[in-house]
Amino acid sequence: MIENATQSERFEPLHDAHAIEQVVIVLQMAGPVGGEVFASVRKTSEQFKNDLPGQAEIQKLTVAFGQDPGFMGQPAQSEVHGFVMSRTAPNGVVETELRLEQSSITFRTTVYTRWNSVWAQAKNYLDIFTPLYVRNGSVAAISLNFVDKFVWVGDIAGCSPKLLLRPASKYVAPHVFELGDLWHSHTGAFLPADSQVKRLLNVNVDYLQEEPIAGPRRLIGISTSLTDLFNQPGYDPLQLDPNAVPQFLNDRMNDLHRFSKVAFGEVISANMSKRVALSIPS
């Protein structure tokens, strides 16, 4: 009875309860920390080996070319740039990943439950590692990125992005609604945040044909990315005390999360917002 009450052809959130394929949190420093500092980062990471048993080095490849004779004949140079720790599911999908590089920390997970849980997990790592970086440099940016996917259920001939996306959304190029083929829409803008923060919002919407192992499918992918940039011209400088890092990160990320939900809610329809229990903060 319940099944009959729903439309037979529709978009469904990727994971039924929600559409979030992955969440990425990035902390970017203004420059790389030195080798000694990074050695302490590596040493500190050992406490998380049980959480994230996979480990691999990240190579940075530098290729020089041009007319300058000084560059001629130089081979490509490769150096260790950082390392990545991860937890991988039996089917090979990376569930959680922590990338520690000389100028950035990146946390990524494909296991989204609820924001408080995911952020608590990321915070567990960031609170430990960020002070090591901050003692030796300044924070350039913090970013929160969500990738949501909505899969079409039904005959592809009947698939229409209008059934998912909010009509006249300011974040989707209007002409794509008139197209019959696949498309991509991108928008990016700096938005006012506060006296220290220059905030960049990127919304990418892809109307895709994917071919996963289970078979081809039509879907809409939405990437909502927010980046708070610090120490920008015309903005108050950020001087972060290492001891203040946990509170700073917590406040900043929760603010980005609130803002991200508002932006995402302006992309998908009201019905789908309800379907995925997207509660828009007032």
Partner 1 sequence: MSATQYIGTAGTAAVLAFGINLCPSTANSFGSEFAVRNISKIATTLPASARKRQAGSSFSTHDFGAAANDQIVQSNVAERQTSPVERIVGEMRRWTALSDDWDGQGASAPLEQSVKEAVAFVRMLAPGIPLPDPMVHANGRAGLFWQDGQMYADLEFLGDGRMAYYIERTGDKHKGVVHFDLLNLPPVFHPLLQG
Min CB(67)–partner 1 separation in Å: 5
Cβ-based nearer residue to partner 1, 132 or 228 = 228
Q: Transcribe 101-124 into DSSP letters.
A: ETTEEEEEES--S-HHHHHHHHHH
CB neighbours of residue 182 within 10 Å: 12
Cβ-based nearer residue to partner 1, 198 or 261 = 198
- Which range touches partner 1 (CB under 8 A), out of 46-54, 135-143, 157-165, 170-178? 135-143
Are the CB atoms for 203 and 229 separated by under 8 Å? no
Are the CB atoms for 193 and 207 separated by under 8 Å? no
If one asks whether residue 91 binds partner 1 (CB under 8 A), the answer comes out as yes
Q: Looking only at residues 6 through 35 of this chain, which bind partner 1 when binding is defined by CB under 8 A?
A: 6, 13-18, 21-22, 24, 26, 28, 30
Tell the residue number behind the tokens 């932006």, with chain if given. 263
| Residue from 56, 64, 244, 262 in contact with partner 1 (CB under 8 A) | 64
Q: What's at 40, amino acid-wise?
A: S
If one asks whether residue 66 binds partner 1 (CB under 8 A), the answer comes out as yes
CA dihedral 30, 232, 267, 150 (to 10 degrees): 0
Cβ-based nearer residue to partner 1, 30 or 243 = 30
- The residue among 78, 59, 146, 143 whose CA lies nearest residue 104 is 143
Q: Looking only at residues 185 through 204 of this chain, which bind partner 1 when binding is defined by CB under 8 A?
A: 186, 188, 190, 198, 200, 202, 204
| Residue from 221, 248, 257, 263 in contact with partner 1 (CB under 8 A) | 221
| Residue from 37, 94, 153, 173 in contact with partner 1 (CB under 8 A) | 94
Min CB(151)–partner 1 separation in Å: 11
Backbone angles phi, psi at 35, to 5 degrees: -60, -35
115-134 and 245-265 helices, crossing angle to 10°: 140
Q: Looking only at residues 149 through 178 of this chain, which bind partner 1 when binding is defined by CB under 8 A?
A: none
